[in-house]
Amino acid sequence: MIILGRILAGVNSGVSMNVQPMYLGESAPKKLRGTVALSSAVFTAFGLVMGQVVGIRELLGSEEAWPFLLASNAIPAILQVLVLPWLPESPRYLLIDLKDRDSCVSALQRLRGHCDLSSEMEEMLEEQAAIKGQKPKNMLSLVQDPLLRRQLLTIVVLSSAMQLCGNDSMYFYASYIFNEAGIPPEKIPYVVIGTGSCELITSFTCTLFIDRIGRRALVMGGYSLMSVWAVIFMVALSQQEKVSWMPYLSMVCIFAYILSFGIGPAGVTGIMPAEIFDQMARPAAYMICGSLIWINLFVVGLAFPFIVQGLGHYCYIPFMIVCVCTAVYVGFFLPETKGKSLLEITEEFTKYRTKPHKGENGWIAPEEIKSTML
């Protein structure tokens, strides 16, 4: 029964962590798209903290109460089932996929109230016209589409880096570092709650600034800071037995690393497929994104003990390399999507693909000669 329950919970997590940001991204207005879609990351971090809190021994973490702890996720599941009937279908799905304009307008009115919907409808109609005649893409057709190659590569890089950056591995080290810092073992579970709280605080803060600062700056800044803290953390680990205050520096690094992850990578990664893919390719893009996140989480969970055994105090070198490479890729190849329509974002990606080539003398040659006078 425990295994069956874990399988069902895992299936729900895999589906909902893709469907929820996609639904929110499709339903939110353009100016608030980042803030609304990022709320899924906020509540994911909130669930992590709640799990840490109710899992302490005084609540449901005791030997007698653990079955109730295991079953406690039924409460938010029941609440969600009760609330879902009041949520309208995604307006973009109704208009572009089902070709039902009246239902789209009705859904927008339920979501927006009685405000002017003309500009938003015009944007969705432009997207509908741009993809007219196309069929919904599956994962294979999305991979084979050369026009979406740059967007697909961006999703692969960001989704893989989200787990390969080593943020979850910090939780592995947390109890060890706190014990080395002299915190009594019975108090460590309470301090570990602080690690989850860091991610919750930064995820919530990110929702306030994502539509002001932009996605690109938050992701690039988050991975850059994580690279710096990874170096400091490895130095602190190597000197921990020689310098008395190094365990405290290691504690700072753990909290700072998780805070840097929450600044951008934790939330922005989940909303990018909704912003850079059209309605026909978006579900397949989320399938690829979600699959990569869970597969890489599984790989890191299996490989990390062997990395620690092989590299010792310098086990964060592979994670640091991932963070640096991701920050460089985002800086050079990811256009800013803040406040832009899908057609504008697609045009930004197209610029990278059709950039003209200059000769040695600076003259821009034509891409192809169709015919000559002769």
Collect contacts of 150-155 with beta carbons under 8 A, ≥24 apart. 150/333, 150/349, 150/352, 150/353, 151/276, 151/277, 151/285, 151/349, 152/285, 152/288, 153/333, 154/272, 154/276, 154/333, 154/334, 155/272, 155/273, 155/276, 155/285, 155/288, 155/289, 155/292
Is 332 part of a structural domain of the chain? yes
Residues 6+ apart with CB under 8 A from 4: none
| Average confidence (pLDDT) over 112-139 | 83
CATH of the domain at 200: 1.20.1250.20
pLDDT value of position 363: 45
Helical H runs in the chain?
A: 2-27, 33-54, 66-71, 74-83, 91-92, 101-112, 118-130, 139-144, 149-164, 167-180, 188-213, 215-238, 246-263, 265-276, 282-311, 317-333, 342-353
126 and 144 co-located in one domain: no
141 and 112 co-located in one domain: no
pLDDT value of position 223: 94
Question: Looking at the predicted structure, is the pLDDT value of residue 161 above 90?
Answer: yes
| Average confidence (pLDDT) over 155-178 | 83
pLDDT tens profile 1-33: 888 988 888 888 888 888 888 888 888 887 888
Quote the domain boundaries for residue 128: 89-133
pLDDT band at 124 (very low <50, low <70, confident <90, very high): confident
Across 27-31, 68-72, 341-345, 360-364, least confident range? 360-364
121 and 263 co-located in one domain: no
Is 81 part of a structural domain of the chain? no
312 and 209 co-located in one domain: yes
98: left (phi over 0), alpha (psi -120 to 50) or beta: alpha
| Average confidence (pLDDT) over 41-53 | 85
129 and 139 co-located in one domain: no
For residues 41 and 161, which has the higher predicted lDDT (pLDDT)? Answer: 161
pTM of the model: 0.79
CA separation, residue 28 to residues 25, 204, 295, 339 (Å): 6, 18, 29, 12
| Average confidence (pLDDT) over 150-162 | 92
Mean pLDDT value across the chain: 83
Is 79 part of a structural domain of the chain? no
For residues 14 and 353, which has the higher predicted lDDT (pLDDT)? Answer: 14
For residues 373 and 221, which has the higher predicted lDDT (pLDDT)? Answer: 221
Question: Looking at the predicted structure, is the pLDDT value of residue 153 above 90?
Answer: yes
Residues 6+ apart with CB under 8 A from 264: 206, 215, 217, 218, 219, 220, 221, 222, 223
170 and 299 co-located in one domain: yes
Choosing from 112, 133, 154, the residue where a domain stops is 133
261 and 304 co-located in one domain: yes
pLDDT band at 231 (very low <50, low <70, confident <90, very high): very high
Is 368 part of a structural domain of the chain? no
| Average confidence (pLDDT) over 245-260 | 85
Is 94 part of a structural domain of the chain? yes
122 and 179 co-located in one domain: no
97 and 28 co-located in one domain: no
Is 63 part of a structural domain of the chain? no
Provide the 3-class DSSP secondary structure of residue 165.
coil
pLDDT band at 199 (very low <50, low <70, confident <90, very high): confident
Q: What is the DSSP string of 311-335?
A: HGGGTTHHHHHHHHHHHHHHHHH--
Question: Looking at the predicted structure, is the pLDDT value of residue 354 above 60?
Answer: no
pLDDT band at 181 (very low <50, low <70, confident <90, very high): low
120 and 267 co-located in one domain: no
Maximum alpha-carbon separation in the chain? 91
345 and 269 co-located in one domain: yes
Is 65 part of a structural domain of the chain? no
Is 80 part of a structural domain of the chain? no
216 and 261 co-located in one domain: yes
Number of domains in the chain: 2
Question: Looking at the predicted structure, is the pLDDT value of residue 158 above 90?
Answer: yes
